[in-house]
Structures are given as structure tokens and as C-alpha cells.
């Protein structure tokens, strides 16, 4: 599998998570009124960027299995939160 394919599967996994969220929103509201975030251009920009991060993480993982790449893409928010929580603590400045 090429890195382009890994990226595509990872991005697809990330976007699949959004499809499930949209499905839940539509299914739970008989009037079909979506949450205001779905009408926000900023929301969709961030969502596309997150799909790109999901694709990049899938490339970094280097799996040759599409399902694994999709899983990594879907897990991108959790992976990012974990990485952000692991920031090293810098020692106090001696200046």
C-alpha cells in the first residue's frame, strides 16, 4: 500500500466518524434540524484539517491494512489529545 492510499484510508476513517455523528443527529431529531455547528464554515474547515491529520497519522503508522488506517484516522482526536497531554515540562530558567 502506498502512502497516498494510507492517507486516503486514514482521512476516510476520520470522515466516517463525522458521518456517524451526522446520522445520530438526523436520527434523533424528527424535524431534521441540525446543530448550528454544521452550518459553520469554520467547523467544516477544522473538520477537513482533522481529516488531514487522520490521514497523516495513518501514513506515520505505516500499516498495509485499510481497516487499521481507517481506525487510526477515526482515533485522530484521541491521539492528538494524548500527545498534547504528554508535553515535556521545561526546567525553570536559570537566567
**CA 59 to CA 76: how far, in whole Å?**
12
pLDDT for the residue 26:
78
Instruction: Tell me, yes or no, if the pTM score tops 0.75.
Output: yes
**Who contacts 74 (Cβ-Cβ below 8 Å, separation ≥6)?**
13, 14, 16, 17, 54
Candidates 61, 45, 82; CA nearest to 13 is: 61
Spatial distance between the Cα atoms of 21 and 19, rounded to a whole number of angstroms: 5
Residues of the chain above pLDDT 90, percent: 58
Q: Which of the 8 DSSP states describes residue 64?
A: S
pLDDT tens sequence across 25-56: 777 776 777 778 888 899 999 999 999 999 99
Sequence ranges of the domains in the chain: 3-85
How far apart are the C-alpha atoms of 11 and 52, rounded to whole Å? 6
Amino acid at each position: 500500500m502506498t502512502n497516498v492510499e494510507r492517507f486516503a484510508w486514514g482521512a476516510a476513517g476520520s470522515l466516517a466518524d463525522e458521518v456517524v455523528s451526522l446520522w445520530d443527529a438526523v436520527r434523533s431529531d424528527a424535524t431534521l434540524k441540525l446543530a448550528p455547528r454544521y452550518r459553520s464554515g469554520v467547523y467544516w474547515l477544522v473538520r477537513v484539517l482533522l481529516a488531514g491529520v487522520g490521514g497523516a497519522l495513518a501514513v506515520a503508522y505505516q500499516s498495509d491494512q485499510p481497516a487499521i488506517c481507517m481506525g487510526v484516522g477515526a482515533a485522530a482526536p484521541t491521539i492528538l489529545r494524548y500527545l498534547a497531554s504528554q508535553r515535556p515540562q521545561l526546567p525553570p530558567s536559570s537566567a
